[in-house]
Structure 1
């Protein structure tokens, strides 16, 4: 049975273009849930892609669900955007999870819908609870007790097989959930059902091994699209209520060839793949017809071989922006495209202030690259620059942190020279994030920096830039980064901490105080070279020995 949409839902859907409404009939009904507000979820191209792919299947009806807006009221049920149906009316509820800090929202949504939080307490006919997204195929274990099954990999290569497997094995309301999951785990590539696997632990709390509890694969292979030459990934729904308001997003590439050692995109999305020019031209034509603005997205947009050709061909037909550009690839054609499109702020990501630290993280750009990029941007008519830096990286010293201040001042100097010529002085924004070690990267062995040390580094940077005019700082909260680090590399036991945090309404200090588990064990501990990680049962297509060599090179300040 449907229920009324909230005022917020109606406000959003009335401004959308591309909304899909299908008759339910005998179709497989799936609630696609983004565990955050509408604004955040609809800014995510991956979420939109899953929505489009599922609704392209004739036997599926997919409707979106988000964390309720603040004005929805505490007693308002969680319902789908399209039809206003309750989440429990759907056969499948599928969470699309990009960020670990949204795990707590997942529990809130389950509780509010009346679905038991723990998977082993659910029985048919309750919906099957599925999860996917990059956070899941890096390390699903911290939320494994809450999920019936995960889809590990890229949606384009996963969804058809999963839907076919579900249709064949799970639609009988009398079918036991356990049997359904066993059939899915045996027959669907990339599907991981946590209840069919048992983690075993050493006396020191580390993982000893990971044992299948049924006739299912010992390792789960991360599924990816080998060839993107015929597969476009573009906005499915346009709306002004996103970070990219009324912008038609086009993914030009997937993965990154540079291999920065802190970054998941450079490893878990290997091999890097670039879409061909003819496919992107078709996407551009659709984008020009659909919206006034086009956003080209990817981890390595400036590495696309035909990026300059796209810009020179289409800059006069649409306003074009880029998700990111490398400092060593700041071509005049790209800057001219940004200027013609009315872009006022461009981003450079030095990540570290010193040449030494950029060698440690394998960034592959020099101080001259960074300074020249700033100069080219401002001289080319982009008045404001945003700089991304991290603190707390492995081997970092206070001298490296001071180098961030020094580099910002040098950038400001180049910035001023070019700004004065144009008779307009823009703004320099420093975005400072705490390093969080991630699974499936060379830094998965590294500890996170101490919160007290991070606060000292933040203070040094703020004091160093306090008197520099036209410089703003946006600074990450170390305690929030600490929680992310816990959830990024935790094992299945960490679900106990998540459950406790849910009970304490997100009060993490109270949660840590009450928990029998030591969060520092997961966050602050350097991993042993031969340690078994909670995510080692996933075959991501990258040898652990390769990542270990990269970590050793990092400690030696050597590039790849």
Structure 2
């Protein structure tokens, strides 16, 4: 039987809640997060799959991560699981949980360090079956199609049991992949699909070569009432420290046009007050710190009552997201009582017009009021998220980001004087990347030089404003993300070159003869077959088309 161990010393720091099981007569799964331990252990989806797999008597699941390696080190670091210190090659299945496109190349690094051939076609029955899931795979798994045997498209709870009822470690990979693809909704095995391209390089056809579904239906948990998603393992070395994470719901009712969470998790689902209270009571036995996680935490119908429960329990709480127009007195009071020093708001755009284009649904007065209330509640620091390069954006829209930050600073300063302490406003500027399954999936991304000019406008506009600092991701890095976000199978070759170049994107692009930047920079016609068109997320493409046209009508 499985048992939990407290104060597990073999992982980084001191872990509680680790599950160890005997490997004998069980399917052995290495669950891998393709980034460092601190990042992976802060991912609630990763922890949930770990728990669900270990709840199956016939499965043992252990964790592995991208090793932290000095840039000077050229020899590969062997990958071992934390629980038993076994090599990845000793497992029946290596399952990757992938949240971000920027981690794709880490998957190749991990496979190589584990001595596992990178390409699926070069592996045999002596190697583990390579699986992958996670939100990045929901959106567009094609850049990794050459390297992954089986993808799972959707939420894990409804389907994990069936996957491991069908998987047989004694059978060949092709047989397992075919059985899974035929029997389990959400399973996509790339080797059973053929892609052809036109003379212009566009996808011409995407067809099955075996008796497998031509369209992959994403799997989702229609009712969260019987499912609690919380931290399984606590560790001081996770990004959020020893915080007990609780998922309040899935999806978002606002449908911002740049954000995939508002579409691929449809319909929005929230947990009940009784469920969340039970989760809080469980967390309180382990740590005084609770983290409420979700795309729309402040839209939770029972949030006021939940805040009252947390406050009476004298627990500290943090929120993964705050909407400026949904800040209530109860939320602000709870943040203050939790000794929160920095609150984050995401106006996303500076002008009212741009916020209408992206369907943000908040007004300038909402943002200013939220900033004032937070500072008056003795939360001294604010972090503001903005994007540049959004569709139809003009120079005036970029200047509006500066203007809005100055207005926020004025409110911030007045409230700080009343509170008798002044903190810092951090303005985080990210370049817009078109994402699959959003109304902006067809638009062209701004070229790097254009993004750099826009970023310079903001940096120069705010340079002389006291207590305001600007942090920005390098637009070149955003270009790489854009290539992978909308890439097809051919970007697998690009990932191989990137891997050989030790992650050096500029060098990789210079070596490429096929202009991979076009994946990010090219506008798509509405009738083009997209790399992810074979996935059905439960809504018609017409919904995205209508939202796209409404956005353009705001010009």
Pair in the same fold by TM > 0.5: yes
Unaligned runs of 5+ in 2: 1-7
Alpha carbons of structure 1 residues 75 and 456: separation in structure 2 relative to 1, 3 Å: closer
Distance in 1, Cα, partners of 2:389 & 2:400: 13
1:273 aligns with 2:274: no
Answer yes or no: is the 8 Å Cα contact 1:29–1:92 preserved in 2: yes
| SS of corresponding position for 2:263 | coil
Q: Report what 1:4 is aligned to.
A: none
| Cross-structure match for 2:86 | 85
User: What CA RMSD, in Å, does the superposition of the two structures yield over aligned residues?
Assistant: 1.3
Matched residue SS, 2:146: helix
Runs of at least 4 residues off by over 4 Å: none
Instruction: Say whether residues 1:135 and 2:129 are aligned partners.
Output: no
1:100 matched residue in structure 2 = 101
Of 466, 469, 486, 1:469 maps to 466
Q: Distance in 1 between matches of 2:330 and 2:9?
A: 42
Contact 2:245/2:290 (<8 A) preserved: yes
Partner of 1:53: 52
Aligned residues between the structures: 545
| Secondary structure, aligned partner of 1:314 | helix
- Partner residue of 1:28? 27
Between stretches 223-232 and 508-517, larger displacement belongs to 508-517
Q: Does the 8 A contact of 2:260 with 2:437 survive in 1?
A: yes
CA contact (8 A) 2:64 2:80 kept: yes
Q: How far apart in 2 are the matches of 1:38 and 1:531?
A: 40
Q: Distance in 1 between matches of 2:483 and 2:158?
A: 30
Q: How does 1:344-359 map to 2 (within 5 A)?
A: 344-359=341-356
**Contact in 2 for aligned 1:151/1:158 (Cα 8 Å):** no
Q: Deviations over 1:55-102 (max 9, x none)?
A: 111111000000112269635411001110000000000000000000
CA contact (8 A) 1:332 1:380 kept: no
Provide Cα deviations, 1:386-423, integer angstroms capped at 9, x if missing partner. Answer: 10000000000111000000000000101111110111
Aligned to 2:4: none
What runs of 5+ residues in structure 1 fail to find an aligned partner? 1-8
- CA distance change for structure 1 residues 470 and 229 in 2, over 3 Å: closer, same or farther? same
Q: Find the partner of 1:495 among 492, 497, 510.
A: 492
SS at match of 2:11: helix
Conservation of the 8 A alpha-carbon contact between 1:321 and 1:338? yes
1:215 to 1:30, Cα distance in 2 relative to 1, 3 A: same
TM-fit CA distance, 1:44: 0.6
3-state SS of paired residue (2:312): coil
Whole-Å separation in 2 of the counterparts to 1:262 and 1:467? 31
Q: Deviations over 1:226-259 (max 9, x none)?
A: 0001100000100111121100000001000000
Corresponding residue SS for 1:52? helix
Write the mapping of 1:260-339 to structure 2, written as runs, cut at 5 A.
260-317=256-313, 318-339=315-336
Q: Structure 1 length as normaliser, TM-score? A: 0.96
Instruction: Report 1:52-451 matches (<5 A).
Output: 52-70=51-69, 74-166=75-167, 170-172=168-170, 175-317=171-313, 318-451=315-448
2:40 is matched with which residue? Answer: 41
Confirm or deny: 8 A CA contact 1:54 1:60 kept in the other structure: yes
Give the corresponding residue for 1:5: none
> 2:69 touches 2:77 (CA, 8 Å); kept in 1?
no
Helix, strand or coil for the counterpart of 2:430? strand
